[in-house]
A and B are shown apart, each in its own frame.
Chain A
Amino acid sequence: MAPTKKMGIKQKYAHLTRGLDWETTYEKMDDVFPYDKFEGIKITDWSKWEDPFRLTMDSYWKFQAEKERKLYAVIDAFAQNNGQTNISDARYVNVLKLFLTGISPEEYQAHRGFAFTGRHLRGVGPRVACQQQSLDELRHFQTQCHTISHFNKFFNGLSEFRTMHDRVFYLSVPKSFFDDARTAGPFEFMIAIGFAFEYVLTNLLFVPFMSGAAYNGDMSTVTFGFSAQSDESRHMTLGIEVIKFLLEQHPDNLPIVQEWVDKWFWRGFRLLGLVSMMMDYMLPKKVMSWKEAWEIYFVEAGGSLFKDLERYGLKMPKYHEQATEACEHISHQLYGLLYQLSHVTGLHAWMPDDEHMDWLSEKYPNTFDKYYRPRFELWKQQEAEGKRFYYNGLLQLCHTCQLPMTFTEPDDPTTTCFRESEYEGQHYHFCSDGCKDIFDREPEKYISSWLPIQQIFQGNCGGPTIPDVLAYYMFGPNDGGEYVGSEDNKLWESWKNATTKEAAE
């Protein structure tokens, strides 16, 4: 007998995804897959689906196991070597607080969402890819908790992250983003998370953030970050495949897909505002500015992508010019807001020092000195006079993105942007045209949003006073507020001064 030749990856993948499925006979196919038609997407031939990585389950397990082994070796080494004492500054830990409370729970939501699509899409190819991604996302959530748990032994603001995510006002920004995606149909979910988030925007979150962790001495976070990112490349591929597949299957899909792309681009852009603030203000040692990251990952990479998708008639997402223009402003506006509100958040804030201000002037020559430096200098002066400024009111939120109304008009950075819609006799408020359009397209969905400030007024957040609400959020007394003089700050100073002390003390 002639020796059988080893199968190539194309052949192996074909075996995994072809002939594995069958037409059901006891139950109608439409009953088995009840969700893949109501959105209006038309699929004529599921077998046209191609996963270019052609990753079979055996290789998937092998690679994932190896990634985990490597990651946990680093996490152990980090703990054993007291890696927390070697970060650039304790201000850096704020980045981890924002990440663990605002991003890690969304990894879990992504896990749930892909488990759903991995069950409910009719084709085998995308089902396999979605199931792999679902497991990846669960792994991301778990490894992030494990890694950051080491910092929780020393620093405030990390321990109640799950509860915080579900209740706290600014964390409803990422939460509502994923809630919105998960309550959509399976195809919209794939465009929202698979395409818009994973392909178009995730690089902006992970690459500069993880590189920032590397630069700031946090070896364990770099490792979980890049370990997750290696899965992300697969997720990006799934995202681009799904959009090409939908556009190739039927011309009627184009207008539906375009609306989703427009919606999820704008929602993603708003969500990433939180990342902009982290990059420009929270990392003690900086890798690149938010604006530079946007240039690389949206203008350049997104530009190449959308040029490719032009052949299907798909256009750049609506308001992309506004978004690019707003990148001159959003990090300064959001950090300014955090500074004024940090006493009611689980995060510390501080005014940038002179060197940091100069860096901001250099990176934002058109806007920083003109619009933001004067405001920050006033706050610094007030601090020096012992009158650190805090804002003590409840904020008006955008009904779509749930960020406070803090952004300015596209052509006038001195005027706050307000938009409004009326639906069934009620007024709804928005931070931008993009957010208003999203509401107007599906008002009956968004009127049921859980808006954290409205919920306080309705008496659903622990009580009427600030301490009541903070207790409901499960914030500890030292979790937020000014960094200088905080427990985290004092702990850090004690470590820095302890170099001559005995280790056993």
Chain B
Amino acid sequence: MAQIASITLYQNDEARPVMEAILQDNPTARVLNMPGAVKIDVDDELVINRATVEEKLGSEWDPQQIHMVLISMAGNLDEDDDQIKLSWKH
């Protein structure tokens, strides 16, 4: 069984560009919609690129702003100025 890297975000306008960016950059992503929340699963590794979020949002986005829309996650986290990565790869 693959290890699942996952992120759960608010179901709201602030989170939507982040969700769209994840779906674009992780083509195998699976989405579970729940009332108020959306869970996105990817096998082994999930990435969020600042550039993609900015393109969806049409303005600047600091990866740390993820804290405003984040509900939960799974995977080893690595975050820098350009990318957030949740991964089980070593």
Q: Assuming A211-B37, A237-B77, A311-B90, is B72 touching A9 (CB within 8 A)?
A: no
Q: Does A274 contact B (CB under 8 A)?
A: no
Q: Does A233 contact B (CB under 8 A)?
A: yes
Which B residues are CB-close (under 8 A) to A55? 64, 67
Which A residues are CB-close (under 8 A) to B63? 9
Task: Name the residue of chain B whose CB is nearest to the CB of A233.
Answer: B70
The answer on a CB contact under 8 Å between A308 and B36 is no
> Which chain A residues numbered 139 to 189 have a C-beta less than 8 Å away from chain B?
none
Q: Does B88 contact A (CB under 8 A)?
A: yes
Which A residues are CB-close (under 8 A) to B77? 52-53, 237
CB distance from A210 to the nearest CB of B (A): 6
Selected interface stretch from B2-10, B21-29, B51-59: B2-10
Give a binary string over A43-66; 1 marks a CB under 8 Å from any B CB, 0 the rest: 000000000111100010001001
B4, B36, B76, B81: which contacts A300 (Cβ < 8 A)?
B4
Q: Does A229 contact B (CB under 8 A)?
A: yes
Which A residues are CB-close (under 8 A) to B5? 304
Which A residues are CB-close (under 8 A) to B60? none
A67, A210, A234, A305: which contacts B68 (Cβ < 8 A)?
A67
CB distance from A312 to the nearest CB of B (A): 12
A66, A206, A214: which contacts B35 (Cβ < 8 A)?
A214
The answer on a CB contact under 8 Å between B81 and A308 is no
The answer on a CB contact under 8 Å between A287 and B34 is yes
Q: Assuming A59-B64, A301-B4, is B73 touching A226 (CB within 8 A)?
A: no
Task: Name the residue of chain A whose CB is nearest to the CB of B7.
Answer: A233
Which A residues are CB-close (under 8 A) to B34? 207-208, 211, 287-288
Which A residues are CB-close (under 8 A) to B8? 203, 207
Task: Name the residue of chain B whose CB is nearest to the CB of A214.
Answer: B36
Task: Name the residue of chain A whose CB is nearest to the CB of B81.
Answer: A8
The answer on a CB contact under 8 Å between B74 and A63 is no
Q: Number of B residues contacting the other chain (C-beta, 8 Å)?
A: 32
CB distance from B55 to the nearest CB of A (A): 21
Give a binary string over A258-296; 1 marks a CB under 8 Å from any B CB, 0 the rest: 000000000000000000000000000001100000001
Which A residues are CB-close (under 8 A) to B13? none
Which B residues are CB-close (under 8 A) to A8? 80-81
B3, B37, B79, B90: which contacts A53 (Cβ < 8 A)?
B79
Which B residues are CB-close (under 8 A) to A208? 34
CB distance from A293 to the nearest CB of B (A): 10
Which B residues are CB-close (under 8 A) to A230? 67-71
Q: Does A317 contact B (CB under 8 A)?
A: no
Which B residues are CB-close (under 8 A) to A287? 34-35
Give a binary string over A234-248; 1 marks a CB under 8 Å from any B CB, 0 the rest: 101100100000000
Q: Number of A residues contacting the other chain (C-beta, 8 Å)?
A: 42
Task: Name the residue of chain A whose CB is nearest to the CB of B65.
Answer: A63
The answer on a CB contact under 8 Å between A9 and B64 is yes
Counting chain B CB atoms within 10 Å of each CB, the highest count among A211, A213, A232, A237 belongs to: A211
Majority secondary structure, B binding face: strand
Task: Name the residue of chain A whose CB is nearest to the CB of B82.
Answer: A8
Q: Does A215 contact B (CB under 8 A)?
A: yes
Task: Name the residue of chain B whose CB is nearest to the CB of A288.
Answer: B34
B10, B35, B68, B80: which contacts A215 (Cβ < 8 A)?
B35
> Which chain A residues numbered 1 to 18 have a C-beta less than 8 Å away from chain B?
8-10
The answer on a CB contact under 8 Å between B4 and A226 is no
Counting chain A CB atoms within 10 Å of each CB, the highest count among B4, B39, B72 belongs to: B72
Task: Name the residue of chain B whose CB is nearest to the CB of A240.
Answer: B76
Q: Does A451 contact B (CB under 8 A)?
A: no
Q: Assuming A207-B37, A210-B36, A304-B3, is B71 touching A229 (CB within 8 A)?
A: yes
Give a binary string over A399-429; 1 marks a CB under 8 Å from any B CB, 0 the rest: 0000000000000000000000000000000
CB distance from A256 to the nearest CB of B (A): 22
Q: Assuming A8-B81, A59-B64, A211-B34, is B3 touching A226 (CB within 8 A)?
A: no
Q: Does A438 contact B (CB under 8 A)?
A: no
Task: Name the residue of chain A whose CB is nearest to the CB of B77.
Answer: A52
Bound-state CA distance A347–B72 (Å) is: 30
Task: Name the residue of chain B whose CB is nearest to the CB of A304.
Answer: B3
The answer on a CB contact under 8 Å between A63 and B71 is no
CB distance from A143 to the nearest CB of B (A): 16
The answer on a CB contact under 8 Å between A304 and B4 is yes
Which B residues are CB-close (under 8 A) to A67? 68
Which B residues are CB-close (under 8 A) to A214? 35-37
**Closest 7 A/B residue pairs (Cβ):** A214-B36, A304-B3, A214-B35, A215-B35, A52-B77, A211-B34, A229-B71
24 cross-chain CB contacts under 8 A: A8-B81, A53-B79, A55-B67, A63-B68, A207-B37, A207-B39, A210-B71, A211-B36, A214-B35, A214-B36, A214-B37, A222-B36, A226-B37, A230-B71, A232-B72, A236-B72, A237-B73, A300-B4, A303-B3, A304-B3, A304-B74, A304-B75, A307-B3, A308-B76
Point out residues on A near B: beta carbons under 8 Å.
Answer: 8-10, 52-55, 59, 63, 66-67, 203, 206-208, 210-215, 222, 226, 229-230, 232-234, 236-237, 240, 287-288, 296, 300-301, 303-305, 307-308, 311
